[in-house]
């Protein structure tokens, strides 16, 4: 297939054409040529190309999500690999990951191969994570190397913390041998047990039991020491507090091989959103204070936080549209992530910082080939109209679930198309 994207403004700091309006030629899934739109005489024939006029829209590398709950197998009534892939593509993602908290838990070579095979016909690449411990129970380490050989890009117990320090230490040491990545969900359940939201003034006013920042920070401090001791890399998933940012920033300065990500929700919302008792704001980790939210943006801006993740977590009506006390945690985010980020980012945060945290950084951490917008590279791309308005509702939603606080709302910033796997998908 041959495509020509005309009049696109490239947003990719790794591209020689960053910030310039260009015509991008794609042939058989490869960027075959890039020419400045101001250049009148083209040296490349446009015969046989399907032309897509970007009309000044932004062209970026395809987004990568390092934290996606896909639900299949076992919970297909909430989401399937197919519906998640459709939602991801509509949100500008060309690669997503599959957390292992399914039923049964994804923890064998066959499980990794199942995901990889199912993803072959879908519009996005799906990279599986393997469960770090048997059945995500935190006790006995799984056979990580077998899963790594079968395509696992990392190991995690999803939303369960490895409470046993010895298990975490041995996991880091073992994964280091073959270059595997251990991802830590930092939550001391002795401190967070029974909590419904962030512990602070809002939780007191609402009469809800809170989860202190310390529940996250003590595990981050512990795991940083373990990473330092084992000299192994570690990645912290969806950090949420100012103290966590400071701990990781200090560790990076000391030379510890540590990376981390932050969820979209924790960047664009804070605990005051729960004043409405909207169960869609009930998350793990919880939405923190304004001070924490500010620190997360600052950590992203100065490079302490490497990536932004959607933390996409589909839930059915029976688990979400109930009293706040009993509602499950999580919200869907694949399709609305870039819109919310562009709408809510502080003025001092550039668009490039956000795009880099969604593209190059996660690819580097997951050891995936980079797809910068340069001639000869794979065409894994996203076209965004940053000013376009659209409604996220039953007509546009590609997910099986609806647990989003912006459902039936008008958003600014729309993905017009994604280009991936030698195909393109318009929205």
Rounded CA-CA distance 373/16 in Å is: 8
Evaluated on CA atoms 146, 152, 154, 158, the torsion sign reads negative
311 tagged catalytic: yes
Kindly state the DSSP code that residue 312 receives in the 8-state scheme.
B
Rounded CA-CA distance 98/130 in Å is: 9
Torsion angles phi and psi, residue 384, rounded to 5 = -125, 135
Residues whose CB is less than 8 angstroms from the CB of residue 344 and which lie 6 or more positions away in sequence, other chains included: 267, 268
Q: CA angle, corner 338, sides to 117 and 49, nearest 5?
A: 65
Kindly state the DSSP code that residue 104 receives in the 8-state scheme.
S
Catalytic-labelled residue, pool 111, 311, 316, 393:
311
Residues whose CB is less than 8 angstroms from the CB of residue 250 and which lie 6 or more positions away in sequence, other chains included: none
Torsion of CA 360, 365, 371, 374, to 10 degrees: 60
Rounded CA-CA distance 184/191 in Å is: 17
Which segments of 197-331 does DSSP mark as H helices, in order? 201-206, 214-230, 242-253, 264-268, 290-301, 317-320
* Residues 266/290, Cβ–Cβ less than 8 Å: no
* Residues 129/153, Cβ–Cβ less than 8 Å: yes
Evaluated on CA atoms 236, 241, 245, 247, the torsion sign reads negative
Rounded CA-CA distance 328/224 in Å is: 30
Residues whose CB is less than 8 angstroms from the CB of residue 5 and which lie 6 or more positions away in sequence, other chains included: 23, 24, 26, 52, 54, 59, 381, 383, 419
Rounded CA-CA distance 149/108 in Å is: 11
Query: Strands 423-426, 409-420: parallel, antiparallel or unpaired by DSSP?
Result: antiparallel
Q: CA angle, corner 212, sides to 206 and 213, nearest 5?
A: 130
Catalytically active residues, by annotation: 311
């Amino acid at each position: 297939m041959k495509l020509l994207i005309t009049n696109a403004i490239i947003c990719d700091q790794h591209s020689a054409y960053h910030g310039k309006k260009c015509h991008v030629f794609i042939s058989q899934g490869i960027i075959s040529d890039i020419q400045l739109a101001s250049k009148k005489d083209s040296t490349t024939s446009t015969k046989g190309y399907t032309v897509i006029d970007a009309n000044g829209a932004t062209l970026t590398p395809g987004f990568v999500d390092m934290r996606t709950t896909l639900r299949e197998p076992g919970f297909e009534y909430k989401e399937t690999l197919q519906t998640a892939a459709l939602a991801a593509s509509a949100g500008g993602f060309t690669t997503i990951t599959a957390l292992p908290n399914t039923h049964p838990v994804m923890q064998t070579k066959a499980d990794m191969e199942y995901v990889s095979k199912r993803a072959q016909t879908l519009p996005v690449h799906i990279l599986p994570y393997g469960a770090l411990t048997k059945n995500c129970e935190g006790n006995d380490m799984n056979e990580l190397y077998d899963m790594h050989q079968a395509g696992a890009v990392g190991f995690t117990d999803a939303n369960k913390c490895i409470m046993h320090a010895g298990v975490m230490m041995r996991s880091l040491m073992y994964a280091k041998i073959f270059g595997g990545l251990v991802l830590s969900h930092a939550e001391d359940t002795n401190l967070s047990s029974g909590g419904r939201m962030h512990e602070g003034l809002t939780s007191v006013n609402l009469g809800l039991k809170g989860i202190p920042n310390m529940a996250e920070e003590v595990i981050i401090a512990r795991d940083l020491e373990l990473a330092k001791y084992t000299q192994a890399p570690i990645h912290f998933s969806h950090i949420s507090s100012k103290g966590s940012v400071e701990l990781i920033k200090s560790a990076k300065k000391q030379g510890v091989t540590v990376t981390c990500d932050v969820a979209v929700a924790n960047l664009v919302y804070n605990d005051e959103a729960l004043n409405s008792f909207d169960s869609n704001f009930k998350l793990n980790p919880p939405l923190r204070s304004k001070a924490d939210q500010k620190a997360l943006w600052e950590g992203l801006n100065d490079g302490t936080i490497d990536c932004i993740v959607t933390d996409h977590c589909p839930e059915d009506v029976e688990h979400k549209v109930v009293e706040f006390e009993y509602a499950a945690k999580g919200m869907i985010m694949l399709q609305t992530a870039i819109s919310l980020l562009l709408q809510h980012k502080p003025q001092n945060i550039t668009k490039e910082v956000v795009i880099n945290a969604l593209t190059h950084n996660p690819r580097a951490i997951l050891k995936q080939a980079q797809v910068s917008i340069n001639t000869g590279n794979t065409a894994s791309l996203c076209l965004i109209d940053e000013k376009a308005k659209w409604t996220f509702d039953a007509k546009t939603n590609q997910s099986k679930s609806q647990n989003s606080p912006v459902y039936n709302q008008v958003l600014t910033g729309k993905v017009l198309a994604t280009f991936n796997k030698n195909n393109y998908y318009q929205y």
